[in-house]
Amino acid sequence: MTSWRHDSLGASSSEPLPVVIIGNGPSGICLSYLLSGHIPYVKPGAVHPHPLLQRKLAEAPGVSILDQDLEYLSEGLEGRSQSPVALLFDALLRPDTDFGGSIDSVLSWKRQKDRAVPHLVLGRNLPGGAWHSIEGSMVTLSQGQWMSLPDLQVKDWMRKKCRSPQQQSHSR
């Protein structure tokens, strides 16, 4: 796709965009975050409770998750998704959720502008996708405290917006 755009430095360009993301829901937002050069690393000193995954993570200290063998890392992980990469990111972001635990994410995110990929996110409405149409009265299965985007807990975002979680969130 070719379009006039402004890059992150404010310069305009008519170069073709290498990536166009269709849809501005949580999936599109997360992909855009990654393509903007936010790169996930294992936090220094973090220990994952899954022994096999921890052993594999320890084999490449300081190497970003994106630069590791995702198939190897996700081997043996189980969960509610069919996608090995989704299982891996669930395990890294919510290490022991399926066992009722509340261990913090083992990931930290670093902004590496040189790794950013120019992209455009297309959406029909405001960013947020299905969440705009979910009624405030909806009760969902998972816990509200799990709600997050990469590096942004919904509860922290709400605190910044000075809103009450009871008024604004859909507890999962």
- The two tokens of residue 57 are 């993570």
Q: How far apart are CA 112 and CA 108, in angstroms?
A: 13
What x-and-dash track marks residues 46-85 binding ligand FAD by CB under 6 A?
----------------------------------------
3 state SS for 87-111:
HHHHHHHCCCHHHCCCCCCCEEEEE
Residue 93: name the closest of 149, 51, 143, 37 by CA. Answer: 149
- Exposure string for 150-160, b = 16+ CB within 10 A, e = fewer: ebeebeeebee
CB of 68 or CB of 144, closer to ligand FAD: 144
Helix, strand, or coil (residue 72):
helix
Shortest distance, position 99 Cβ to ligand FAD, whole Å:
19
| 27 scored as a contact of ligand FAD (CB under 6 A) | yes
CB of 124 or CB of 161, closer to ligand FAD: 124
Q: What number of chain residues touch ligand FAD (CB under 6 A)?
A: 20
List 5, 17, 21, 23, residue binding ligand FAD (CB under 6 A): 23
Strands 12-13 and 5-6, sheet pairing: antiparallel
Shortest distance, position 56 Cβ to ligand FAD, whole Å:
26
| 118 scored as a contact of ligand FAD (CB under 6 A) | no
What x-and-dash track marks residues 122-141 binding ligand FAD by CB under 6 A?
xxxx---xxx--x---x-x-
Binding site for ligand FAD (CB under 6 A): 22-28, 122-125, 129-131, 134, 138, 140, 142, 170, 172
